[in-house]
Structure 1
């Protein structure tokens, strides 16, 4: 069965599903695309926060955030609090991927203690969370991919000659 746009999928069905699944046993994550994120915050706060007294946590993640030991501990405490209180963690797919890349980047830059803790948290969340995905067709689309570079910025091999070379090749007359 497919519900049409405006049929109450996000505002009614998702809210009921999330309220029943956020039982304090597992971390409840709601994964939404960036365009729906702000609307979903308002929906979840009004339905879950106001009606059933559940807290909605929003934890954006980006590689530009500098993370140390104290931040990793704060993240772990927030994650535990969200899970224990039956709260809901609202995330975007790019936040999940950025959090994973943060740990890998710390590993590469020899910040092994922080990297290990970040990767352990990522694995724990990956194994011990319940995910509900809104607009799954968009979020699971093969077109969606987060591309992040690691390391220092470098020139592409053979640049800029690689772009001018093709222009110098004579074209075959037809």
Structure 2
């Protein structure tokens, strides 16, 4: 572990989260004294500035303490899309904080994909809609 250079993120399948969390906690936490920081995010979460600042500080602590972040691709995508939703709803301060976290993670994190063949399979690709529902033109 190179202290303070990169945050290690382990990206797992959502369905394996509890199992992998326990396993990593035992192996990394128990044997190597590394903390596991679970990061979960859903699109229906409604973050405010205080919460995003706490999230950012926790990621920065993970960097300093060599903690391992455990998350799923759905959680990462949900966080990214929430920042867009915040812009659309004109909550610019929160959106700016979320974008700052995203930029920071791109610079200071390295991800490990567990079960990469499954995670990268097309059946796990997510499609999120944005905006109001509209009629599709259909030949009538």
Tell whether the structures are fold-level matches, with TM greater than 0.5.
yes
* Structure 2 residue aligned with 1:157: 136
C-alpha distance after superposition, 1:103-142 (max 9, x if no partner): 1111111111111110121121122201111101111123
- Provide the secondary structure at the position in 2 that maps to 1:61: coil
Q: Which residue does 1:79 correspond to in 2?
A: 59
Shift of 1:155: 4.4
In the aligned structure 2, how far is the partner of 1:146 from the partner of 1:128? 25
Give the deviation of 1:70 after TM superposition. 0.3
The one-character-per-residue Cα deviations of 1:23-71 (angstroms, maximum 9, x if unpaired) are 3321110000112221110111101111111110111011111111101
Q: CA RMSD in A?
A: 1.8
1:148-173 superposed Cα distances (whole Å, 9 cap, x missing partner): 12234x24335xxx59x6xxxxxxxx
Per the alignment, residue 147 of structure 1 pairs with 127
Equivalent residue number for residue 14 of structure 2: 34
Question: Is 1:129 matched up with 2:109?
Answer: yes
Structure 1 residue runs without a partner (length 5+) = 1-19, 166-174
CA distance in structure 1 between the partners assigned to 2:44 and 2:130 by the alignment: 12
TM-score, normalised by the number of residues in structure 2: 0.91
CA–CA distance in structure 1, aligned partners of residues 122 and 108 of structure 2: 25
Moved over 3 A (4+): none
The whole-number CA distance in structure 2 between the counterparts of 1:143 and 1:88 is: 27
Distance 2:48 2:15 in 1: 30
Gaps of at least 5 residues in structure 2 are none
Corresponding residue SS for 1:130? strand
Number of matched pairs: 140
Return the alpha-carbon distance in structure 2 between the equivalents of residues 106 and 71 of structure 1.
Answer: 14
Structure 1 length-normalised TM: 0.74
Contact 1:31–1:90 under 8 Å retained in 2: yes
Q: Is the contact between residue 62 and residue 95 of structure 1 (CA under 8 Å) also seen in structure 2? A: yes
